């Protein structure tokens, strides 16, 4: 029976819990039936590559759930096939940062106690991303995936059954249908939000787009939309890889993605005695609670991460599979 059981050495899920969930899945697939005897502790734990205590903890947990019983001298057996288990969700982020925390809390708070969410991170490592998905296929009820790559990763993501898949934030372009997504339209979002506020942006002579990709996913579509807007409306613009003191100049606007670059700009402003929102402008990508109060408010170009989390959760609760573009706007504050 344990040929069907998978232990993922790299999972944050404890090994005993992996054993429990694997046995539950075998029950649901009909691979185990009421009355079936489980392999003995002494002959099994080494085969699984776990400690004896880990296997005992797994069997005890199944006993507490009423799934497994024991008879003195005869070991453990399946006493019930009624699992009463929580719906398990595999949640894969790139990294955890301030706006991801907003998204995560919104998602978690929109679910009830009948759901269990296990979160994983790929840190922009495509090999890690693919391994995490492949190693956890057929283990979870739903898979919520954040495919933050500019390359095509559909070949691995679409190994997940579409009736279990929810893609968030960055859509995977495909003619295939049947899976859910709640995502941004990166190119149109930045173009339309800047177009709406063109008159306000005219106070700046030059735009600097800080495309710092260090531990940060910047979709190519955002750069395409930004360049198209600047070309269509005659704005002088430049893409730079980082913030350097020499590019901090009066009457310039800076579009930044990570908090480190934002901090560098604010530090240089104080050094050069420039006034934020008057001498220079700053637009930060992705809203967070801190940006609402920092320097009396940092203007942000942002999707609504609270809504994104709520909608993703609603797909799972209602077993609804459709594609939705999430709301995006330029939230005007003192830095512009």
218-220-225-228 Cα dihedral, nearest 10 degrees: 130
CATH code linked to domain 2-78: 1.10.10.10
pLDDT of the residue at 49: 83
pLDDT of the residue at 65: 81
Per-residue pLDDT in tens (0 to 9) along the chain, 336 residues: 566 677 787 777 888 888 888 888 888 888 889 888 888 888 788 888 888 899 889 988 888 888 888 877 678 888 888 777 788 899 999 999 999 999 999 999 999 988 989 999 999 999 999 999 998 887 788 999 999 999 999 999 999 999 999 999 999 988 888 899 999 999 999 999 999 999 999 999 999 999 988 778 899 999 999 999 999 999 999 999 999 989 999 999 999 999 999 999 999 999 999 999 999 999 999 999 999 999 999 999 999 999 999 999 999 998 888 999 999 999 999 999
3-state secondary structure of 166: strand
CATH entry, 87-184+305-327, from 3.30.70.2190, 3.30.300.180, 3.40.50.720, 3.40.50.2300: 3.40.50.2300
| Structure-block tokens of residue 256 | 């930044």
CATH 1.10.10.10 domain range(s) in the chain: 2-78
pLDDT of the residue at 2: 60
Centre a 10 Å sphere on the Cβ of residue 185 and count the other Cβ atoms it contains: 16
CA–CA separation, 330 and 192 (whole Å): 9
CA–CA separation, 45 and 54 (whole Å): 8
CATH topology of domain 187-303: Rossmann fold (3.40.50)
Q: What are the strands, taking DSSP E only, across the chain?
A: 68-71, 75-78, 87-93, 115-121, 142-145, 165-170, 180-184, 206-210, 236-240, 252-256, 281-285, 299-303, 323-325, 328-331
pLDDT of the residue at 42: 82
CATH 3.40.50.2300 domain range(s) in the chain: 87-184+305-327, 187-303
pLDDT of the residue at 39: 82
């Amino acid at each position: 029976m344990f040929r069907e059981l998978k232990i993922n050495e790299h999972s944050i899920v404890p090994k005993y819990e992996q054993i429990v969930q694997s046995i539950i899945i075998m029950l649901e697939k009909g691979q185990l039936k009421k009355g079936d005897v489980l392999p003995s502790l002494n002959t099994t734990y080494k085969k699984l590559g776990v400690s004896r205590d880990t296997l005992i903890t797994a069997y005890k947990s199944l006993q507490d759930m009423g799934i497994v019983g024991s008879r003195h001298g005869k070991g453990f057996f399946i006493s019930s096939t009624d699992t009463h288990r929580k719906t398990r969700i595999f949640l894969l982020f790139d990294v955890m940062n301030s706006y991801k925390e907003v998204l995560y809390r919104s998602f978690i708070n929109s679910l009830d106690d009948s759901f269990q969410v296990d979160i994983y991170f790929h840190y922009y490592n495509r090999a890690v991303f693919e391994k995490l998905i492949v190693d956890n296929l057929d283990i979870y009820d739903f898979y919520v995936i954040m495919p933050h790559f500019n390359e095509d990763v559909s070949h691995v993501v679409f190994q997940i059954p579409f009736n279990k898949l929810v893609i968030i934030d960055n859509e995977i372009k495909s003619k295939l249908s049947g899976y859910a997504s709640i995502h941004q339209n990166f190119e149109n979002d930045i173009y339309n939000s800047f177009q709406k506020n063109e008159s306000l942006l005219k106070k700046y002579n030059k735009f600097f787009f800080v495309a710092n990709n260090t531990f940060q996913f910047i979709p190519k579509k955002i750069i395409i939309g930004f360049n198209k807007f600047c070309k269509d409306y005659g704005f002088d613009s430049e893409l730079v890889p980082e913030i350097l003191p020499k590019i901090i100049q009066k009457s310039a606007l800076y579009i930044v993605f990570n908090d480190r670059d934002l901090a560098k700009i604010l530090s240089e402003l104080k050094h050069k005695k420039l006034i934020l929102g008057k001498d220079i402008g700053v637009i930060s990508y992705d809203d967070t609670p801190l940006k609402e109060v920092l320097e009396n408010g940092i203007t942000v170009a942002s999707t609504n991460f609270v809504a994104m989390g709520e909608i993703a959760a609603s797909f799972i609760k209602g077993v609804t599979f459709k594609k939705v573009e999430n709301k995006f706007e330029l939230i005007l504050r003192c830095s512009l």
